[in-house]
Structure 1
Amino acid sequence: MAAVGPVVLATGGTGGHVFPAEALAGELEARGVPFALVTDSRGRQWQGALSRRPIHYIRSASPTGSLQSKAKALLTLAVGLFDAWRVLGRIAPSAVVGFGGYASVPTMVAARLRRLPAMLHEQNAVLGKANRLVQGSAGLIATSFERTRFVPADDARARLVGNPVREPVRALRASPYRSPSDGRIIDVLVFGGSQGAASFSQVVPQALLSLSPALRPRLRVVQQCRAEDLGSVRKIYAKHGVVAELAPFFSDLPQRIAAAHLVIGRSGASTVAELATIGRPSILIPYPYAADDHQTANARAFEATGACIVVPHASFDAATLAEHLTMLFEAPERLAAMAAAAHGAGRPDAAARLADVVAELTGLSLQPSGVPA
C-alpha cells in the first residue's frame, strides 16, 4: 500500500465513546493503516491500541451548567478549534472519524475548515448533541441501530455498522446459552454503572427475596454495588441464604455476562452491544437522566428484537421486577428465546464494518482483517 496520511480518531470523555474508537484503532492496526488520536486531557488514561500511536491533546469543555460556565466552555472549545487546526495541519490525515463527546467537536470542525474527508460514528439510537453539532461536516454517518433519531431514514450518508465491542467480548460470541431448566441454579448478573447502582441495591434484593420458596434457593447472584451499599446488601442476601458475590466493579464483566442466565442492567450503548454480541437475555432499566433519553431509545430498539424486557425507571420497583423475574424463571424457554434474539442482533464485525466505511470515505483500499461473524 502506498504511504497515506493517518486516520484521525477524534474522541474523548466516557468509555461509551472510547471503546468504539479503540476497536476501530485495533482494526486499522490489523490492516496496516496508520492512525492518530486527537482528544482532550482525559485521553491520558487510555490503554490498548489507542496508546500505541501518536496522541495529540486539544482543549475542550462541555457547554452545560450556568450561563457563565457555558460561556467559559465555548471559549475553551474555540481554543480547542485552534489546537485541532494546528494538529491536522501538522499530521495531514487522510480522514477524520468523530465518535461523539464535546472533545471531538473542535477536531470535526477543523476537518471541515481544512476540507478533509470526515465521518461520524454514533453509538446510541439517538444522535448525540456533540455529533449533531458537527453533523453537517460528515461525509458519512455510521450508526449502531436500524433507526437513529436525528438521522433521517433517507439520509444517503447513513451506514449501519453496529457498535464495536472489545476483543474480550467478541471472544465470547460462541459461548452457548443454557437456560436454567429442571431446577438448575439460576445465575443472575446485576450491574447498573456508577449512575444506577444506588436504586439497584435497593430494588433488586427486595425483588429476588420476594420470589417463591421454590425459586429463591436456586438463585446465585453477582451484583455490582456502590462501596457504601456493599455492607447492607450483603447482610440482606446472607440473612435469607442467597448466594451472592458483590463488588463495586468487576474487571471481568464480559465473562460474567456470558455466565449469566439473566442480566439486569442499564441500557447504555456499550451494554446493549455486549449483551447482543454474547447473546444473553436481559431486563433493562434505562437511566432516566441520560441526554436526550438515549438509553430508553437503545432499550426499546433492543426490545423490538425480542432480546430484552424494558422497565422504565419510574416503574422500577420490587413488585414489578419480581413479576418479570417469576415469569422468566418459570418459563426458561422464554429466556432461551430472548438469548437467541439477542445473539441474532449482535454485530461482532462492527469494527470491520466501520473500517470499511472509512475505506469508502477515503477511497483507500483497506484489506479486511478477517473478523469472524
Structure 2
Amino acid sequence: MPDAPLILLAAGGTGGHLFPAEALGSVLIQRGLRVRLVTDERAVRYSGLFSEGMFDVVPSETVRSRSPLSLARTGMMLAAGTAVALNLVRRLKPAAMIGFGGYPTVPPLIAARLMGVPTLIHDSNAVLGRANRFLATRVEAIATSLPGVFDRDPALASKATLTGTPLRPAVLAAAGEPYAMPEVDGPLRLLVVGGSQGARIMADIVPPAIERLEPSLWRRLSLVQQVREEDLPRVRSLYERLKIEAELAAFFTDLPTRLAAAHLVVSRSGAGTVAELAGVGRPSILVPLPGSIDQDQFANAGVLMQAGGAIRLLQSEFTPDRLASEISALAAEPHRLADMARGARSAGTLDAADRLADLVQKVMRH
C-alpha cells in the first residue's frame, strides 16, 4: 500500500512500550494504513510486528540523575535525537504520530509537532509518566488506559480519551480461556513473574514462602517462576529439596498462555502486566516496585485491588511469612479466587487497540 497514509509509532525499546505499539500497528494495517516504528537502540533485537525495514532508530536518553552534568548530557542527546527525527519526519511525511511513553518518544513527538504533523500520546499507567507529562500539553490528544488519570487536571482531561491498553493477539487469545477454579484438593497452578528480566526479590521471597506452606499444599503446587540466570541454582535447589513441581526460566516466550493457565499470579505491577491480568482475568498478588518518583506501579495495582481482582502488598510487607499466609488462605478458598478472577476481568478492555485506532484516525483527519 505505497500510497496509504503512514502512521509513525514512537515507543521506547521495552516490552511495556513496544507491545501496545505492536497491537495498535496490527489494527491500523488491517484498516489499510501503513505503520513504522520510531524507537531507540534497545528495540533492534525486537522480532515482533516491526521487522527489519519497518523501524527507525532515533538517539535518546533518559533522565537518570538531577546532577548538572547528567542533565546536560541528557539534554544534548535529546537535542541530537530531535535533529535526527526532524529529518526523518521530513522524509517520511507521516499523516500522524503517536507516542507510547518513555524518553525515546520525546524527540520524535517534538519533531512531528515542529513539522505540523498531528500528534497524540498513549499512557498505560494509572499515573502519567514523566515523558508523557512533558508532551501532554504539546499534543492534540491523550489516550489513557486507566480511569482517573486527570481527575485533578481538568485542562488535560478535556483532551483525554479512555481507551485501555492495546493487547497483543496472543493475550487476546488467552483472554478467551475461562478461569478454571481449582478444586480444594486439586492442583494449584502458581505463576510468578517479575518484569521482563525477572525481579530479584521474587527469587528471595517466593521460595522461602513456599517452604513455609503446609506439606499437603506442596503436593498440590504446580509452579512456573521467572528467575534471573544468576538466581536459578539456589531457587531450583530449594524446590527440588521440597519436591515441588516447578518450571524455572529467565524468560518465557509463551507467557500469555501460561497466564491463562494460572490459578494465581504473583508479580510486580507494571502497566503491561496489570493490563494483561485484567484482559485475561486472573487473580494476583501484586508487589509494586518501590522508590518510583511517580509511584505508578502502586497506582496500577490499586486499580485491580479496587476491582476486587488483586491483593496489593508493599515491598516492606512482602515477606515469606506474609506471602505464605496469603497463598494458603486463597488455596483454601477457591471460590474467592474465582471472585478475584471476575474482578480482574471487569477492569480489562479487550477492544483497546480498536479504540485507540479510532482516536488515531480522528486526530489524523483533523
For the superposition of Structure 1 and Structure 2, which TM-score range results when normalised by the shorter chain?
over 0.9
Q: Distance in 1 between matches of 2:238 and 2:4?
A: 60
For residues 152-211 of structure 1, the C-alpha deviation after alignment (integer angstroms, 9 at most, x for no partner) is 357111111111121111111111211112310111111113665321112112222212
Alignment of 1:212-231 (within 5 A): 212-231=214-233
Alignment of 1:82-93 (within 5 A): 82-93=83-94
Taking a change above 3 Å as real, the CA distance of residues 334 and 292 of structure 1, as seen in their structure-2 partners, is same
Given that residues 196 and 287 in structure 1 are in contact (C-alpha distance below 8 angstroms), is that contact kept between their aligned partners in structure 2?
no
Match status 1:106 vs 2:107: yes
Question: Quick one: which amino acid aligns to residue 99 of structure 2?
Answer: G
Match of 2:241 among 230, 239, 264: 239
Match of 1:260 among 229, 240, 262: 262
Alignment of 1:289-304 (within 5 A): 289-304=291-306
Taking a change above 3 Å as real, the CA distance of residues 247 and 47 of structure 1, as seen in their structure-2 partners, is closer
Q: Distance in 1 between matches of 2:107 and 2:152?
A: 21
Taking a change above 3 Å as real, the CA distance of residues 252 and 194 of structure 1, as seen in their structure-2 partners, is closer
Identify the residue that residue 321 of structure 1 maps to in structure 2.
323
Q: Distance in 2 between matches of 1:57 and 1:231?
A: 37
SS in structure 2 at match of 1:107: helix
Moved over 4 A (4+): 1-4
Q: Distance in 2 between matches of 1:148 and 1:21?
A: 20
Q: Give the TM-score of the pair, scaled to structure 1.
A: 0.92
Q: Distance in 1 between matches of 2:38 and 2:221?
A: 46
Question: Quick one: which amino acid aligns to residue 281 of structure 1?
Answer: P
Task: Mark the runs of 5 or more structure 1 residues left unpaired by the alignment.
Answer: 365-373
Question: Quick one: which amino acid aligns to residue 227 of structure 1?
Answer: E
Alignment of 1:138-149 (within 5 A): 138-148=139-149
Displacement of 1:4 in angstroms is: 5.1
SS in structure 1 at match of 2:22: helix
Identify the residue that residue 174 of structure 2 maps to in structure 1.
172
Alignment of 1:59-208 (within 5 A): 59-65=59-65, 66-148=67-149, 152=153, 155-193=157-195, 197-208=199-210
Given that residues 284 and 299 in structure 1 are in contact (C-alpha distance below 8 angstroms), is that contact kept between their aligned partners in structure 2?
yes
Identify the residue that residue 371 of structure 1 maps to in structure 2.
none
Q: Distance in 2 between matches of 1:99 and 1:346?
A: 19
Taking a change above 3 Å as real, the CA distance of residues 91 and 124 of structure 1, as seen in their structure-2 partners, is same
Identify the residue that residue 20 of structure 1 maps to in structure 2.
20
Q: Distance in 2 between matches of 1:232 and 1:151?
A: 47
Stretch of structure 1 that moved more, 65-74 or 105-114: 65-74
Given that residues 10 and 100 in structure 2 are in contact (C-alpha distance below 8 angstroms), is that contact kept between their aligned partners in structure 1?
yes
Taking a change above 3 Å as real, the CA distance of residues 304 and 14 of structure 1, as seen in their structure-2 partners, is same
Match of 1:346 among 348, 351, 362: 348
Taking a change above 3 Å as real, the CA distance of residues 280 and 21 of structure 1, as seen in their structure-2 partners, is same
For residues 45-76 of structure 1, the C-alpha deviation after alignment (integer angstroms, 9 at most, x for no partner) is 22232226642332211132343222112111
Displacement of 1:337 in angstroms is: 0.5
For residues 298-324 of structure 1, the C-alpha deviation after alignment (integer angstroms, 9 at most, x for no partner) is 001111111110011111101111121
Question: Quick one: which amino acid aligns to residue 55 of structure 1?
Answer: F
Q: Distance in 2 between matches of 1:110 and 1:234?
A: 50
Q: Distance in 1 between matches of 2:272 and 2:241?
A: 34
Q: Distance in 1 between matches of 2:300 and 2:59?
A: 30
Identify the residue that residue 6 of structure 1 maps to in structure 2.
6
Identify the residue that residue 337 of structure 1 maps to in structure 2.
339
Q: Distance in 1 between matches of 2:248 and 2:37?
A: 36
Question: Quick one: which amino acid aligns to residue 344 of structure 2?
Answer: A
Q: Distance in 1 between matches of 2:54 and 2:162?
A: 29
Given that residues 10 and 98 in structure 2 are in contact (C-alpha distance below 8 angstroms), is that contact kept between their aligned partners in structure 1?
yes
Match of 1:209 among 200, 208, 211: 211
Displacement of 1:86 in angstroms is: 1.6
- Aligned residues between the structures: 364
Given that residues 173 and 279 in structure 1 are in contact (C-alpha distance below 8 angstroms), is that contact kept between their aligned partners in structure 2?
yes
RMSD across aligned C-alpha pairs, in angstroms? Answer: 2.0
Given that residues 218 and 242 in structure 2 are in contact (C-alpha distance below 8 angstroms), is that contact kept between their aligned partners in structure 1?
no
Q: Distance in 1 between matches of 2:3 and 2:198?
A: 47
